[in-house]
Protein backbone atom coordinates (compact mmCIF):
# COMPACT_ATOMS: atom_id res chain seq x y z
CA UNK A 1 0.00 0.00 0.00
CA UNK A 2 1.53 3.30 -1.07
CA UNK A 3 1.23 6.71 0.65
CA UNK A 4 -1.11 9.47 -0.54
CA UNK A 5 0.75 11.74 -2.95
CA UNK A 6 -0.05 15.43 -3.19
CA UNK A 7 1.00 18.06 -5.70
CA UNK A 8 1.48 21.68 -4.56
CA UNK A 9 1.62 24.05 -7.54
CA UNK A 10 3.01 27.52 -6.87
CA UNK A 11 2.13 30.91 -8.31
CA UNK A 12 4.37 32.82 -10.67
CA UNK A 13 2.43 34.15 -13.64
CA UNK A 14 3.76 32.90 -16.99
CA UNK A 15 6.43 30.89 -15.15
CA UNK A 16 3.58 28.73 -13.88
CA UNK A 17 3.14 27.19 -17.34
CA UNK A 18 5.95 24.93 -16.13
CA UNK A 19 3.26 23.08 -14.16
CA UNK A 20 1.98 21.63 -17.44
CA UNK A 21 5.37 20.06 -18.08
CA UNK A 22 5.61 18.81 -14.49
CA UNK A 23 2.22 17.08 -14.47
CA UNK A 24 2.69 15.67 -17.96
CA UNK A 25 6.05 14.14 -16.98
CA UNK A 26 4.78 12.68 -13.71
CA UNK A 27 1.88 11.01 -15.49
CA UNK A 28 4.08 9.74 -18.33
CA UNK A 29 6.28 8.01 -15.73
CA UNK A 30 3.31 6.61 -13.79
CA UNK A 31 3.75 8.76 -10.69
CA UNK A 32 0.26 8.97 -9.14
CA UNK A 33 -1.29 12.30 -8.13
CA UNK A 34 -3.96 11.85 -5.46
CA UNK A 35 -4.62 15.46 -4.38
CA UNK A 36 -3.70 18.88 -5.77
CA UNK A 37 -3.32 22.29 -4.13
CA UNK A 38 -2.69 25.38 -6.25
CA UNK A 39 -2.08 29.10 -6.01
CA UNK A 40 -2.67 31.56 -8.87
CA UNK A 41 -1.34 29.95 -12.10
CA UNK A 42 -0.92 26.77 -10.08
CA UNK A 43 -4.66 26.91 -9.38
CA UNK A 44 -5.45 27.29 -13.10
CA UNK A 45 -3.29 24.37 -14.26
CA UNK A 46 -4.12 22.25 -11.20
CA UNK A 47 -7.83 22.96 -11.63
CA UNK A 48 -7.76 22.00 -15.31
CA UNK A 49 -5.99 18.74 -14.44
CA UNK A 50 -8.44 18.01 -11.61
CA UNK A 51 -11.26 18.45 -14.14
CA UNK A 52 -9.76 15.63 -16.18
CA UNK A 53 -8.71 17.79 -19.13
CA UNK A 54 -5.97 16.66 -21.49
CA UNK A 55 -2.88 18.79 -20.87
CA UNK A 56 -1.95 18.88 -24.56
CA UNK A 57 -5.35 20.40 -25.32
CA UNK A 58 -4.86 22.98 -22.57
CA UNK A 59 -1.54 23.95 -24.14
CA UNK A 60 -3.15 24.34 -27.59
CA UNK A 61 -5.95 26.52 -26.18
CA UNK A 62 -3.47 28.78 -24.40
CA UNK A 63 -1.27 29.11 -27.49
CA UNK A 64 -4.23 30.17 -29.63
CA UNK A 65 -5.25 32.99 -27.28
CA UNK A 66 -3.73 36.40 -26.65
CA UNK A 67 -4.22 36.07 -22.91
CA UNK A 68 -2.66 39.43 -22.06
CA UNK A 69 -5.17 41.20 -24.30
CA UNK A 70 -8.07 38.95 -23.37
CA UNK A 71 -7.67 39.53 -19.62
CA UNK A 72 -6.33 43.08 -19.74
CA UNK A 73 -3.01 41.97 -18.23
CA UNK A 74 -0.02 44.19 -19.11
CA UNK A 75 2.95 42.53 -20.78
CA UNK A 76 5.54 44.33 -18.65
CA UNK A 77 5.73 45.48 -15.04
CA UNK A 78 6.07 49.09 -16.19
CA UNK A 79 2.85 48.86 -18.20
CA UNK A 80 1.19 47.36 -15.13
CA UNK A 81 2.22 50.25 -12.93
CA UNK A 82 1.12 52.78 -15.55
CA UNK A 83 -2.25 51.05 -15.78
CA UNK A 84 -2.59 50.98 -11.98
CA UNK A 85 -1.81 54.71 -11.73
CA UNK A 86 -4.45 55.44 -14.37
CA UNK A 87 -7.07 53.33 -12.62
CA UNK A 88 -6.32 54.92 -9.26
CA UNK A 89 -6.63 58.43 -10.68
CA UNK A 90 -9.93 57.56 -12.36
CA UNK A 91 -11.34 56.01 -9.19
CA UNK A 92 -10.25 58.98 -7.10
CA UNK A 93 -11.60 61.61 -9.50
CA UNK A 94 -14.80 59.91 -10.62
CA UNK A 95 -15.59 57.66 -7.64
CA UNK A 96 -15.91 54.55 -9.79
CA UNK A 97 -14.39 52.05 -7.37
CA UNK A 98 -17.63 50.14 -6.84
CA UNK A 99 -16.36 46.54 -6.98
CA UNK A 100 -17.80 45.93 -3.50
CA UNK A 101 -21.27 46.56 -4.92
CA UNK A 102 -21.14 45.38 -8.53
CA UNK A 103 -18.87 42.87 -10.23
CA UNK A 104 -16.85 44.81 -12.84
CA UNK A 105 -16.88 43.69 -16.50
CA UNK A 106 -13.21 42.68 -16.18
CA UNK A 107 -14.19 39.99 -13.66
CA UNK A 108 -16.89 38.61 -15.93
CA UNK A 109 -14.29 38.39 -18.69
CA UNK A 110 -11.99 36.51 -16.33
CA UNK A 111 -14.80 34.09 -15.44
CA UNK A 112 -15.48 33.38 -19.12
CA UNK A 113 -11.81 32.62 -19.73
CA UNK A 114 -11.66 30.18 -16.80
CA UNK A 115 -14.84 28.44 -17.94
CA UNK A 116 -12.88 27.30 -21.01
CA UNK A 117 -11.06 24.93 -18.65
CA UNK A 118 -13.56 24.25 -15.88
CA UNK A 119 -17.03 24.79 -17.35
CA UNK A 120 -19.57 25.02 -14.56
CA UNK A 121 -17.95 22.30 -12.48
CA UNK A 122 -17.89 22.51 -8.72
CA UNK A 123 -15.14 21.18 -6.46
CA UNK A 124 -17.42 18.33 -5.49
CA UNK A 125 -17.52 17.10 -9.11
CA UNK A 126 -13.77 16.90 -9.65
CA UNK A 127 -11.98 13.67 -10.50
CA UNK A 128 -9.05 14.66 -8.23
CA UNK A 129 -9.51 16.52 -4.90
CA UNK A 130 -8.36 20.14 -5.21
CA UNK A 131 -7.65 23.08 -2.90
CA UNK A 132 -7.31 26.63 -4.22
CA UNK A 133 -5.54 29.29 -2.16
CA UNK A 134 -6.59 32.97 -2.09
CA UNK A 135 -6.15 35.96 0.23
CA UNK A 136 -8.83 38.06 1.96
CA UNK A 137 -7.98 41.64 0.97
CA UNK A 138 -9.70 43.08 4.06
CA UNK A 139 -8.06 40.90 6.71
CA UNK A 140 -4.94 39.53 5.01
CA UNK A 141 -6.04 36.01 5.94
CA UNK A 142 -5.26 32.98 3.82
CA UNK A 143 -8.46 31.44 2.45
CA UNK A 144 -8.39 27.84 1.20
CA UNK A 145 -11.32 27.13 -1.13
CA UNK A 146 -12.64 23.60 -1.49
CA UNK A 147 -16.31 24.02 -2.38
CA UNK A 148 -18.51 25.91 -4.81
CA UNK A 149 -17.89 26.88 -8.44
CA UNK A 150 -14.36 26.14 -9.52
CA UNK A 151 -14.01 29.04 -11.96
CA UNK A 152 -14.83 31.58 -9.26
CA UNK A 153 -12.32 30.11 -6.80
CA UNK A 154 -9.55 30.12 -9.41
CA UNK A 155 -10.42 33.69 -10.39
CA UNK A 156 -9.98 34.69 -6.75
CA UNK A 157 -6.65 32.88 -6.48
CA UNK A 158 -5.25 34.63 -9.58
CA UNK A 159 -6.78 38.12 -9.10
CA UNK A 160 -3.54 40.09 -9.38
CA UNK A 161 -3.74 43.24 -7.21
CA UNK A 162 -3.94 46.36 -9.32
CA UNK A 163 -4.84 44.40 -12.45
CA UNK A 164 -8.01 42.59 -11.38
CA UNK A 165 -10.49 43.72 -8.74
CA UNK A 166 -11.04 41.45 -5.72
CA UNK A 167 -13.40 38.53 -6.33
CA UNK A 168 -16.42 38.16 -4.04
CA UNK A 169 -16.66 34.64 -2.59
CA UNK A 170 -18.80 33.76 0.41
CA UNK A 171 -19.10 37.34 1.63
CA UNK A 172 -15.35 37.98 1.42
CA UNK A 173 -13.29 39.80 -1.21
CA UNK A 174 -10.39 37.66 -2.36
CA UNK A 175 -7.20 38.30 -4.32
CA UNK A 176 -4.02 36.50 -5.42
CA UNK A 177 -3.19 33.67 -3.01
CA UNK A 178 0.50 34.20 -3.68
CA UNK A 179 0.42 37.09 -1.22
CA UNK A 180 0.09 34.65 1.68
CA UNK A 181 0.96 31.15 0.42
CA UNK A 182 2.80 30.92 -2.87
CA UNK A 183 3.47 27.17 -2.71
CA UNK A 184 0.58 25.57 -0.79
CA UNK A 185 2.25 22.48 0.63
CA UNK A 186 0.22 22.72 3.85
CA UNK A 187 -3.04 22.76 1.86
CA UNK A 188 -2.04 19.49 0.20
CA UNK A 189 -1.20 17.96 3.59
CA UNK A 190 -4.57 19.10 4.95
CA UNK A 191 -6.19 17.00 2.20
CA UNK A 192 -4.37 13.92 3.41
CA UNK A 193 -1.15 14.01 1.37
CA UNK A 194 1.65 12.04 3.02
CA UNK A 195 4.23 12.80 0.34
CA UNK A 196 4.13 16.23 -1.33
CA UNK A 197 5.73 17.18 -4.63
CA UNK A 198 5.99 20.98 -4.52
CA UNK A 199 6.67 23.05 -7.63
CA UNK A 200 8.46 26.35 -7.06
CA UNK A 201 8.29 28.62 -10.11
CA UNK A 202 9.77 31.65 -8.39
CA UNK A 203 12.73 33.54 -9.80
CA UNK A 204 15.91 34.75 -8.10
CA UNK A 205 16.28 38.39 -7.10
CA UNK A 206 17.49 40.92 -9.66
CA UNK A 207 21.23 41.48 -9.03
CA UNK A 208 21.23 44.70 -11.10
CA UNK A 209 18.75 47.05 -9.41
CA UNK A 210 19.09 50.52 -10.94
CA UNK A 211 15.91 52.62 -10.84
CA UNK A 212 13.40 53.51 -8.14
CA UNK A 213 10.93 51.21 -9.89
CA UNK A 214 13.48 48.38 -9.70
CA UNK A 215 13.83 49.02 -5.96
CA UNK A 216 10.04 48.85 -5.46
CA UNK A 217 9.75 45.59 -7.41
CA UNK A 218 12.77 44.09 -5.67
CA UNK A 219 11.37 44.98 -2.23
CA UNK A 220 8.18 43.06 -2.96
CA UNK A 221 10.20 40.16 -4.35
CA UNK A 222 12.33 40.00 -1.19
CA UNK A 223 9.23 39.79 1.03
CA UNK A 224 7.69 37.10 -1.16
CA UNK A 225 10.89 35.07 -1.33
CA UNK A 226 11.37 35.17 2.43
CA UNK A 227 7.78 34.04 3.05
CA UNK A 228 8.24 31.12 0.64
CA UNK A 229 11.50 30.14 2.34
CA UNK A 230 9.97 30.17 5.82
CA UNK A 231 6.89 28.19 4.80
CA UNK A 232 8.94 25.57 2.96
CA UNK A 233 11.31 25.31 5.93
CA UNK A 234 8.39 24.69 8.31
CA UNK A 235 6.88 22.05 6.03
CA UNK A 236 10.29 20.41 5.59
CA UNK A 237 10.58 20.11 9.37
CA UNK A 238 7.19 18.40 9.36
CA UNK A 239 7.57 16.15 6.31
CA UNK A 240 11.33 15.67 6.06
CA UNK A 241 12.29 13.77 2.91
CA UNK A 242 8.60 13.33 2.08
CA UNK A 243 8.63 16.91 0.79
CA UNK A 244 10.19 16.96 -2.68
CA UNK A 245 10.66 20.39 -4.28
CA UNK A 246 10.92 20.76 -8.06
CA UNK A 247 12.38 24.07 -9.27
CA UNK A 248 12.08 24.56 -13.04
CA UNK A 249 14.64 27.00 -14.45
CA UNK A 250 12.19 29.76 -15.38
CA UNK A 251 14.09 32.83 -14.21
CA UNK A 252 14.38 34.09 -17.82
CA UNK A 253 10.59 34.38 -18.06
CA UNK A 254 8.75 37.43 -16.78
CA UNK A 255 5.49 36.88 -14.96
CA UNK A 256 3.41 38.82 -17.50
CA UNK A 257 4.81 37.06 -20.60
CA UNK A 258 1.66 35.00 -20.96
CA UNK A 259 2.23 34.21 -24.64
CA UNK A 260 5.45 32.39 -23.77
CA UNK A 261 4.55 28.71 -23.22
CA UNK A 262 7.17 26.49 -24.82
CA UNK A 263 10.12 27.40 -22.62
CA UNK A 264 8.44 27.06 -19.19
CA UNK A 265 6.73 23.81 -20.21
CA UNK A 266 10.06 22.37 -21.37
CA UNK A 267 11.76 23.49 -18.17
CA UNK A 268 8.99 21.89 -16.12
CA UNK A 269 9.50 18.61 -17.94
CA UNK A 270 13.29 18.71 -17.54
CA UNK A 271 13.22 19.61 -13.84
CA UNK A 272 10.76 16.78 -13.16
CA UNK A 273 12.84 14.22 -15.03
CA UNK A 274 15.79 15.17 -12.81
CA UNK A 275 13.72 14.42 -9.68
CA UNK A 276 12.06 11.18 -10.86
CA UNK A 277 14.63 8.92 -9.21
CA UNK A 278 14.18 10.66 -5.84
CA UNK A 279 10.38 10.63 -6.15
CA UNK A 280 10.29 6.90 -6.84
CA UNK A 281 12.75 6.22 -4.03
CA UNK A 282 10.67 8.12 -1.45
CA UNK A 283 7.40 6.52 -2.59
CA UNK A 284 8.96 3.06 -2.37
CA UNK A 285 10.46 3.76 1.06
CA UNK A 286 7.12 4.76 2.59
CA UNK A 287 4.97 2.15 0.84
CA UNK A 288 3.89 -0.72 3.05
CA UNK A 289 4.43 -4.22 1.64
CA UNK A 290 1.22 -5.99 0.62
CA UNK A 291 -0.34 -8.11 3.32
CA UNK A 292 0.03 -11.85 2.74
CA UNK A 293 -3.09 -13.61 1.58
CA UNK A 294 -4.80 -15.63 4.30
CA UNK A 295 -4.68 -19.38 3.71
CA UNK A 296 -8.01 -21.06 3.50
CA UNK A 297 -8.67 -23.47 6.33
CA UNK A 298 -9.79 -26.96 5.26
CA UNK A 299 -13.40 -27.66 5.87
CA UNK A 300 -14.07 -29.66 9.01
Is the confidence at residue 195, as pLDDT, over 70? yes
Q: What is the model's pLDDT at position 94?
A: 47
pLDDT, tens only, 211-246: 776 687 788 888 889 999 999 999 999 999 999 999
- For the beta carbon of residue 188, count every other beta carbon within 10 angstroms: 31
Q: What is the model's pLDDT at position 24?
A: 96
Q: What is the model's pLDDT at position 81?
A: 47
Q: In this structure, what are the phi and psi dihedrals at residue 169, rounded to the nearest 5 degrees?
A: -140, 120
Q: What is the model's pLDDT at position 184?
A: 97
pLDDT, tens only, 264-275: 999 999 999 999
Q: What is the model's pLDDT at position 114?
A: 92
- Average pLDDT over every residue of 194-212: 88
Confidence of residue 84 (pLDDT cuts 50, 70, 90): very low
User: How many Å apart are CA 180 and CA 224, to the nearest integer?
Assistant: 8
The answer to whether the beta carbons of residues 153 and 132 sit under 8 Å apart is yes
Selected residue with higher pLDDT from 273 and 293: 273
Question: In the chain, where do the E strands start and end?
Answer: 5-9, 35-39, 130-136, 142-145, 167-169, 172-176, 195-199, 243-246
Selected residue with higher pLDDT from 43 and 97: 43
Catalytic residues: 40, 176
Q: What is the model's pLDDT at position 97?
A: 59
SS3 142: strand
Task: Give this prediction's pTM.
Answer: 0.89
Is the confidence at residue 93, as pLDDT, over 50? no
Report which of 197, 218, 199 is spatially closest to residue 207, judged by C-alpha positions: 218
Is the confidence at residue 178, as pLDDT, over 70? yes
Q: What is the model's pLDDT at position 230?
A: 94
Confidence of residue 86 (pLDDT cuts 50, 70, 90): very low
Q: What is the model's pLDDT at position 104?
A: 82
Q: What is the model's pLDDT at position 203?
A: 81
What value does the mean pLDDT of the chain take? 88
User: How many Å apart are CA 76 and CA 119, to the nearest integer?
Assistant: 30
Angstrom CA distances, 212 to 75, 83, 86, 252, 286, stand at 20, 18, 19, 22, 50
**Where on the phi/psi map is residue 3: left (φ > 0), alpha (ψ -120 to 50), or beta?**
beta
Amino acid sequence: MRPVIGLALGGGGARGYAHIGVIRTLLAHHVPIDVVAGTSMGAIIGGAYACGLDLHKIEKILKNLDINKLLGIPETTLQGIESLVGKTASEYLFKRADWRVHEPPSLKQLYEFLRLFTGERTFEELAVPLSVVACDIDTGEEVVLRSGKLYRAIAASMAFPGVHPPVPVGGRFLVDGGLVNKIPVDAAVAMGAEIVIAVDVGAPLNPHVMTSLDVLIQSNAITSQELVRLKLELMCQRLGEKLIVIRPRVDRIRIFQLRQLDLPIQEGEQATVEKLGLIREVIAKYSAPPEPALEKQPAA
